[in-house]
């Protein structure tokens, strides 16, 4: 197998990149010291998280000059995400920290006054905006009707004159009213702001074109007018609640309002299939992300949870969209040694096994309580803070398990209430949402708005918003809950719980500003495929990513 050198200079979650490289027929050799760079023919620098952290690490380890020399020698170079950003002069994220300065521009933070930041999801890399590339040729296999997976808060605004004068070809994406650089290429260099290794077949094509050194190639697929519209798509996520059944096998299960046992006399844990198989099935159906929630992790320590790690390893070798893992991400005593294993180490185990994001449930509630008890001052020690500092806030999802609490009069509670269209059992017209922990078993006095504001301040990058009242009911998402949480934070919010058909997805996307929507039971029971949901959304002119073979 031909080889490519990979420079992993920060503790990165790059297992998926290695898997993707192998999938397109190449083998990875690791660059372990600056001297190794000289022996590289093709070099890839991935990067996640903070611009300043990444560039400082590269510089302190002595890589800047060898990388410059590699590029100057005309050898193929690819930068991914922060690896691409390194080609620029700098970023407002880290004033004073210098990039390689090959592109005379500074990265800017997205404006969050009208949209969620980070920008997370599937967006274009539109080569049509590139006058250098002939209409019938595609730059590194990029297609205007494909979508690519992005996750970042800082971007290079696209100003044609900045790039063209300096001879760069650019593929653009648009988020809200901002058009930015999705990919950039010149001579032997390619940079992608998106993650090709997480962008399904479309991303693998770009990676292969780079590795095969095919800078230009013919466009083989006709442009599809329904999907070539630029902009962020509506994200559909398939969620797999995983736990051990009474026979000791890890199975995908699904609860009704979090009760996962059959109502029949067997009272067995519902078994809806095998985790890896189902994840692959949903990927093939076009799921934009797959989430695994280890729902009984509070009983066990994930340090010993080898089967869950194995599920991730296997899934990440065939599923090239983002994978999230939740359950048990917290400081945990290791029963074998008695020592406390920090949440960051547990997250690292998951990242090394192929996860792109970790999702924190119960521990986030405790962290938020501590945050308020401490006069809204972060301690720097919580799982959210330590993991987002090491891997970037885009890698930290907070999974919320709220439950409705009805009151007749807002004065009855100190919590922020909203007037509900679905009154309580005694006709109460007001509701607030209490956060629960331990899989809904314990209800706390923290409300959902307090929680999401605190976790945003602590550095979470996304909220996975469940709703115990709606879970497994097939009655649609709780739009009142989604609207109120969206109004409280700038980070993206995923609506979850209650999806029973495509119309429920349409409803939540049209009636709220939610960033993504998640379904579980309706997919597991085979009532709907992800593809069918997307086709319905597309009929209603909602932009979705189409599946590419
Ligand atoms: O607290 O950090 O160890 O994390 C535990 C994680 O496990 C949390 O994310 C929590 O939401 C989840 N969890 C715990 N118990 C259950 C349970 O069901 N008994 N599942 C559980 C949460 C909710 C959704 C579900 C949607 C969609 N599952 O993820 O998939 O409600 O379902 P639907 O479309 O069928 O309605 P920690």
Segment 196-252, tens digit of pLDDT = 999 999 999 999 999 999 888 766 554 554 445 668 999 999 999 999 888 888 899
pLDDT band for 95, please (50, 70, 90 cuts).
Answer: very high
Taking the CA of residue 255 as reference, the ligand 1 atom at the shortest distance is 18
Question: Cα–Cα distance between 131 and 109 in angstroms, integer?
Answer: 26
Question: Cα–Cα distance between 184 and 96 in angstroms, integer?
Answer: 23
Burial of 444 (0-12, 13-18, 19+ CB in 10 A): middle
Q: Examine the pLDDT at 298 and tell me if it is beyond 80.
A: no
Given ligand 1 and candidates 397, 439, 500, which is best to mutate, with the most ligand atoms within 8 Å of its CB? Answer: 439
Per-residue pLDDT tens digits for 490-501: 999 999 999 999
Q: Whole-structure pTM over 0.80, yes or no? A: yes
Q: What 3 state SS string does 42-70 have?
A: CEEECCCCCHHHHHHHHHHCCCHHHHHHH
Instruction: Among 16-30, 163-177, 362-376, name the one with the lowest average pLDDT.
Output: 163-177
Taking the CA of residue 474 as reference, the ligand 1 atom at the shortest distance is 36
What's the complex ipTM? 0.98
Distance 393 CA to ligand 1 centre (A): 21
- Alpha helix (H) ranges present in 96-253? 160-164, 200-211
* Percentage of the chain exceeding pLDDT 90: 77
pLDDT band for 391, please (50, 70, 90 cuts).
Answer: confident
Taking the CA of residue 521 as reference, the ligand 1 atom at the shortest distance is 35
Q: What is the pLDDT of residue 210?
A: 97
Kindly state the average pLDDT of the residues 108-125: 95
Among residues 401, 456, 462, 478, the one annotated as catalytic is: 401
HSE of 187, CA atoms in CB hemisphere, 13 A = 10
Tell which residue, 486, 67, 466, 488, has the closest CA to residue 291: 466
HSE of 311, CA atoms in CB hemisphere, 13 A = 30
549 annotated active-site: no
Residue ID of nearest Cα to ligand 1 atom 4: 327
Q: What is the pLDDT of residue 8?
A: 81
């Amino acid at each position: 197998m031909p080889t490519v050198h990979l420079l992993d200079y920060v503790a990165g979650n790059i297992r998926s990149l290695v898997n993707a490289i192998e999938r397109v027929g190449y083998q990875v050799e690791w660059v372990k010291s600056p001297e190794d760079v000289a022996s590289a023919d093709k070099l890839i620098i991935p990067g996640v998280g903070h611009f300043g952290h990444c560039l400082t690490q590269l510089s302190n380890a002595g890589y800047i000059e060898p990388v410059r020399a590699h590029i100057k020698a005309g050898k193929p170079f690819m930068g991914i995400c922060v690896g691409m950003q390194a080609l620029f002069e700098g970023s407002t994220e880290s004033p004073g920290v210098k990039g390689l300065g090959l592109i005379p521009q500074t990265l800017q933070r997205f404006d969050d006054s009208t949209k969620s930041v980070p920008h997370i999801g599937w967006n274009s890399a539109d080569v049509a905006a590139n006058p250098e590339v002939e209409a019938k040729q595609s730059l590194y296999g990029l297609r205007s009707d494909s979508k690519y997976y992005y996750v970042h808060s800082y971007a290079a605004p696209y100003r044609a004159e900045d790039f063209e004068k300096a001879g760069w070809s650019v593929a653009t994406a648009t988020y809200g009213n901002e058009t930015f650089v999705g990919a950039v290429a010149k001579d032997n260099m390619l940079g992608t702001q998106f993650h090709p290794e997480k962008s399904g077949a479309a991303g693998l094509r770009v990676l292969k074109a780079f590795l095969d050194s095919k800078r230009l190639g013919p466009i083989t697929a006709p442009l599809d007018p329904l999907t070539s519209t630029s902009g962020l798509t509506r994200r559909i996520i398939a969620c797999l609640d995983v736990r051990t059944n009474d026979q000791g096998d890890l199975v995908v299960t699904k609860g009704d309002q979090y009760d996962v046992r059959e109502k029949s006399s067997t009272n067995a844990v519902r078994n809806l299939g095998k985790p890896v198989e189902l994840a692959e099935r949903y990927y093939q159906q076009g799921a934009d992300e797959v989430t695994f929630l280890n729902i009984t992790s509070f009983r066990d320590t994930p340090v010993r949870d080898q089967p869950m790690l194995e599920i991730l390893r296997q899934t990440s070798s065939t599923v090239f969209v983002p994978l999230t893992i939740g359950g048990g991400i917290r400081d945990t005593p290791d029963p074998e040694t008695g020592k406390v294993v920090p949440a960051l180490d547990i997250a690292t185990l998951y990242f090394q096994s192929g996860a792109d994001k970790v999702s924190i449930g119960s521990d986030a509630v405790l962290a938020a309580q501590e945050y308020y008890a401490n006069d809204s001052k972060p301690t720097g020690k919580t799982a959210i803070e330590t993991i987002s500092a090491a891997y970037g806030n885009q890698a930290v999802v907070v999974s919320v398990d709220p439950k409705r609490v009805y009151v007749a009069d807002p004065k009855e509670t100190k919590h922020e209430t909203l007037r509900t269209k679905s009154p309580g059992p005694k006709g109460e017209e007001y509701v607030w949402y209490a956060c629960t922990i331990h899989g809904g078993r314990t209800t706390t006095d923290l409300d959902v708005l307090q929680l999401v504001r605190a976790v945003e301040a602590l550095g979470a990058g996304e909220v996975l918003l469940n709703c115990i009242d709606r879970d497994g009911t097939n009655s649609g998402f709780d739009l009142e809950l989604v609207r109120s949480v969206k109004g409280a934070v700038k980070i993206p919010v995923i609506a979850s719980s209650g999806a029973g058909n495509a119309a429920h997805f349409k409803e939540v996307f049209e009636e709220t500003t939610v960033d993504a929507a998640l379904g579980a039971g309706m997919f597991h029971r085979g009532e709907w495929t992800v593809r069918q949901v997307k086709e319905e959304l597309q009929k209603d002119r909602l932009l979705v990513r189409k599946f590419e073979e």
